[in-house]
């Protein structure tokens, strides 16, 4: 691990130099909100934000992505043959991703990179990307990363972690990818003061006011939790929009659609949401998750129970707080996690009796 000091005067210059070797992405303010976007030449990421409106998961897993293309024109030899759409897997770098969002990438990777199945679209994009994190010194009151297996200076999933020191940035090069990026940017003035990072981390962690408890989730009986009495109450206000799932950095569900125009067509994948009634509709018309309560329960059980049991990698949440802030009816995962974590099966019996 190497520490590099970057004078803010050299920051723009370094990024411009790196832009020769990398396609740069970063947070940019559009209308009222920050959003991760490809940076134009010379455009700088804007760090005057807490976090982006939507998570940067779309960089690896776009909301709509063409996978295959085909032609229905029978005069062509290759009609009805699916062909991969060309993708751009040249190196790129995300500058200014928050540590919570970087950690979420690893949770999503558990799904797209399994021993049995590997998603080439996601993995190619992932391997092509260098993640340059910006430590988070001003968390919101809805951030609960420290108790969600993450933190404002968390390093998992990052190649480089940058902290703001006023007139300079201090960067920790965590991987070879990170080192390569620093070299391309020409940032080479080493520093040797790891204590600064520790102090920054402690101060930032002290600003996190929101917490969740997850210690009992793994031990609680799955079926009992599934049958817990609080689901109707929680699900009541839900309007089954997909806001929580679309803004969530760890939600990975997608749907595959063919779109045909004239004689040419594409097969594309689009984000899907377990909140939508048609998410689980079978061809027969039967829908195993027909009610709102079932769908809401699925979302939270997946994040806070099934995932915990299956991967033993903690909860499927990094505490970014987006769903808490954006839910139109104030369904709060923190409150729900508390209810699930403190649930005792005996309560269920009492409720039934």
Residue 31 vs 41, nearer CB to another protein: 31
**Cα–Cα distance for residue pair 43/78, rounded to 1 Å:** 42
Residue from the set 324, 337, 340, 348 that interacts with another protein by CB under 8 A: 324
Q: Quick check: 30 binds another protein (CB under 8 A)? A: yes
**Cα–Cα distance for residue pair 327/239, rounded to 1 Å:** 10
> Least distance (Å) from another protein to the CB of residue 240?
5
C-alpha of 185 from chain center: 26
113 burial (CB, 10 Å; 0-12 / 13-18 / 19+) is middle
Residues that contact another protein, how many (by CB under 8 A): 47
Outline where DSSP puts E strands in the chain: 2-7, 23-30, 33-38, 64-71, 83-84, 92-97, 129-134, 160-164, 168-173, 190-191, 254-261, 264-271
Residue from the set 247, 314, 315, 348 that interacts with another protein by CB under 8 A: 247
Reduced to 3 states (helix: H, G, I; strand: E, B; else coil), residue 73 is coil
Query: Which residues, other chains included, contact 93 with Cβ-Cβ below 8 Å and sequence gap of 6+?
Result: 18, 22, 23, 24, 25, 129, 130, 131, 132, 181
Secondary-structure breakdown of the chain: helix, strand, coil percentages, each rounded to the nearest 5: 35, 20, 45
**In the range 146-185, which residues lie near another protein by CB under 8 A?**
none
> Least distance (Å) from another protein to the CB of residue 78?
17
Q: Quick check: 50 binds another protein (CB under 8 A)? A: yes
Segment interacting with another protein (CB under 8 A) among 93-101, 117-125, 151-159, 256-264: 256-264
Residue from the set 46, 73, 255, 309 that interacts with another protein by CB under 8 A: 255
Residue from the set 165, 240, 280, 339 that interacts with another protein by CB under 8 A: 240
**Cα–Cα distance for residue pair 199/151, rounded to 1 Å:** 14
**In the range 59-88, which residues lie near another protein by CB under 8 A?**
62-66
Q: Quick check: 345 binds another protein (CB under 8 A)? A: no
Q: Quick check: 242 binds another protein (CB under 8 A)? A: yes
Q: Quick check: 350 binds another protein (CB under 8 A)? A: no
Binding site for another protein (CB under 8 A): 30-33, 50, 53-54, 62-66, 140-142, 233, 236-237, 239-243, 246-247, 255, 257, 259, 261, 264, 266, 268, 270, 273, 276-278, 324-326, 328-332, 334-335
């Amino acid at each position: 691990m190497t520490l590099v000091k970057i004078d803010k005067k050299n920051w723009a210059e370094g990024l411009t130099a790196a832009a020769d070797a990398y396609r740069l992405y970063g947070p940019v303010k559009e209308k009222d909100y920050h959003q991760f976007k490809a940076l134009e030449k010379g455009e700088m990421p804007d760090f005057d934000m807490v976090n982006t409106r939507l998570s940067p998961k779309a960089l690896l897993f776009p909301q709509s992505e063409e996978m295959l293309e085909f032609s229905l024109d029978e005069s062509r030899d290759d009609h009805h043959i699916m062909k991969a759409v060309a993708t751009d897997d040249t190196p790129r770098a995300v500058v200014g991703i928050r540590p919570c969002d970087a950690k979420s990438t690893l949770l999503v990777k558990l799904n797209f990179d399994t021993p049995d199945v590997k998603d080439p679209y996601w993995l190619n994009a992932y391997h092509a990307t260098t993640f340059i994190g910006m430590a988070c010194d001003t968390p919101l009151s809805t951030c609960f990363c420290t108790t969600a297996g993450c933190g404002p200076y968390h390093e998992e999933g990052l190649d480089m972690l940058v902290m703001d020191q006023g007139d300079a940035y201090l960067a920790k090069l965590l991987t070879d990818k990170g080192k390569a990026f620093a070299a391309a940017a020409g940032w080479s003035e080493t520093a040797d003061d790891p204590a600064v990072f520790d102090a920054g981390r402690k101060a930032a962690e002290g600003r996190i006011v929101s917490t969740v408890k997850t210690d009992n989730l793994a031990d609680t009986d799955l079926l009992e939790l599934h049958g817990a009495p609080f689901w109707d109450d929680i699900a009541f206000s839900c309007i089954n929009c997909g806001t929580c799932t679309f803004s969530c950095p760890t939600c990975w569900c997608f749907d595959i659609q063919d779109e045909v125009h004239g004689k040419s067509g594409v097969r594309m994948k689009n984000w899907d949401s377990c909140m939508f009634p048609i998410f689980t509709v079978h061809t027969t018309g039967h829908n195993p998750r027909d009610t709102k309560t079932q769908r809401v329960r699925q979302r939270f059980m997946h994040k806070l129970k099934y995932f915990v049991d299956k991967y033993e990698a903690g909860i499927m949440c990094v505490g970014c707080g987006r769903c808490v802030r954006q839910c139109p009816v104030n369904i709060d995962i923190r409150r729900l996690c508390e209810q699930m974590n403190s649930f005792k099966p005996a309560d269920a019996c009492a409720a039934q009796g």
